[in-house]
Amino acid sequence: MGNENKYSGMEKIEHTIKEKGENSMKVKRAILAIVIVGGLLGIFAPAAGAAPAWFYCTVNDIGLGFGSGYVNLTDSASPPAFSHVWFTLSPDYRKEFLAMVLTAQSNGSTVLVYVDPATEYYVINALYVQPVK
């Protein structure tokens, strides 16, 4: 016997309603997951429209690992082109740049960097520490 004879009358209607309800919940869960992931990406991703340029930045965090140096920067402009975005330090000047960003962070100075904010972990090849004002 096929599925069409499995349910009769009211049972068939109740089963159909239950199936549609379960499918509806799956769709709602999928939409909720997409919204949450999209929201998280929006929070942590740099501004998509920002072009490569020079930026005055605040140094948020500094780190070393996996053979590279990293610095987390926030653009000082209002509104910022990016906020709390990680960039890598050029391997050619890693030690020098590390000393500079550590100095800037401890002094509360800003740094001037040429970066592409649309690309996370972009390499910083030029960095200047700005005097404290």
Alpha-carbon distance values, 73 to 15, 35, 81 (Å): 56, 27, 11
pLDDT digits (tens, 9 = 90+) for 79-116: 998 899 889 998 888 999 999 999 999 999 999 998 87
Its pTM surpasses 0.85: no
Residue ranges of domains in the chain: 3-44, 53-129
Q: According to DSSP H, which parts of 1-133 are helical? A: 10-44, 94-107
Q: Look at the block and give the residue holding tokens 């926030």.
A: 74
| R_g of the chain computed on alpha carbons | 26
Domain made up of 53-129: CATH architecture: Beta Barrel (2.40)
| CA-based nearest residue to 76, from 33, 21, 117, 34 | 117
What percent of the chain shows pLDDT beyond 70?
58
